[in-house]
Amino acid sequence: MKRRDFVALIGCAAGLSVMPLVAGAEEPATRVLGFMSARSPEDSARELAAFRKGLEQNGLTEGRNLKVEYRWAHGDYSRLPALAAELVGLQVGVLLAGGGDVSAFAAKAATSTIPIVFIMGGDPIKAGLVDSYNRPGRNATGCVILSNDIEAKRLGLLREIVPAATLFGAMLNPNFPPAVGQLHDLETAAANIGRQLFVAKAGNDAELEASFAALTRESVAALIVASDPFFDTRRTRIIAFATENRLPAIYHNRGYAFDGGLISYGPNIPDAYQQAGGYAARILNGAKPDDLPVTQPTKFDFVINLKTARALGISIPAQLLARADEVIE
């Protein structure tokens, strides 16, 4: 006798109405995780795959023993407080704040009791999210990817590709709190190498189009796109602009290079999402945020898209190719 038939038989004998199990049916979700991001699902496919891998490595699979409530701001940071409040209202077991510092700030403002796992580019101690990296001490922990602090390094790499350029363009989002520090770092770096910097600011679609027009009007020789979730959500448009205008550009996320951008330099962000997924699963399984140290990247990836370089008519110096972690042919 099959086990499901035996269970049904025992139920009938006890005078109960038992629903027979369906072959292949999913186990009921026993935990609920809230996932909020300043980005959009369309530009986060690699990060989501890594996040789910981190969950599964720690015993949780979405749809089997875990339910995930997703909330996306699509680059509109003003939506984040309401999204965080909505997830807190659902009494999720963990609130994962992805897509940069703005999501982490919104999560912190929404709850001081629900555990938070953040992925951010800035300093979580200064932001009041944790007391220290080793012993977070509050209701939050996560991954710091340091992407906000290496704009000067990106400018230096871009200069190596176009050493004769005298005017560099930079795109920053004034709605992104770290933009103040990003601008300072870029201006200082440009002055140190004797180059001019034209800054185009964009925090919505209309401003993005105006930035494209301004960069074209100023005839910048190369472009640095600052680390920012809004730009990530408009990645395809930004890459297309650079390509159409034959503009060498550098980005913070390797996803840009894989999608046709010239070069990228920054932390492996999917790796951070995998770590965050693991932390979220461990907390749902009983760990406390204070027991999980805040992690930082140990390696930054330098990716060059040679196909794009050829299309732009750019010759990448041999020493740069030798330093690249990955070259896309």
CATH numbers and ranges of domains, the chain: 32-146+268-299 (3.40.50.2300), 148-267+301-328 (3.40.50.2300)
Whether 5 shows a pLDDT value over 50: the answer reads: no
Residue 297 has what pLDDT?
Answer: 85
Kindly indicate the confidence band of residue 17, based on its pLDDT and cuts at 50, 70 and 90: very low
Residue 147 has what pLDDT?
Answer: 76
Taking residues 65-75, report their average pLDDT: 97
pLDDT tens by residue, 156-209: 999 999 999 999 999 999 999 999 999 999 999 999 999 999 999 999 999 999
Whether 222 shows a pLDDT value over 70: the answer reads: yes
Whether 76 shows a pLDDT value over 80: the answer reads: yes
Helix residue spans in the chain (DSSP H): 3-13, 45-57, 80-89, 101-110, 151-161, 179-192, 205-218, 229-233, 235-244, 254-258, 269-284, 306-312, 318-323
Whether 326 shows a pLDDT value over 80: the answer reads: yes
Residue 25 has what pLDDT?
Answer: 45
Whether 12 shows a pLDDT value over 80: the answer reads: no
Q: What does each C-alpha distance from 320 to 159, 161, 190, 247 come to in angstroms?
A: 11, 8, 20, 18
Residue 6 has what pLDDT?
Answer: 36
> Looking at this protein, which amino acid is placed at residue 27?
E
> Looking at this protein, which amino acid is placed at residue 121?
G
Whether 11 shows a pLDDT value over 80: the answer reads: no
pLDDT tens by residue, 138-170: 999 999 998 777 899 999 999 999 999 999 999
Average pLDDT score, the chain = 90
Kindly indicate the confidence band of residue 250, based on its pLDDT and cuts at 50, 70 and 90: very high
Give yes or no for a contact between 255 and 63, defined as CB atoms under 8 angstroms apart: no
Residue 29 has what pLDDT?
Answer: 53
Residue 28 carries which DSSP code? P
Residue 30 has what pLDDT?
Answer: 77
Taking residues 230-255, report their average pLDDT: 96
pLDDT tens by residue, 23-56: 444 454 579 999 999 999 999 999 999 999 999 9
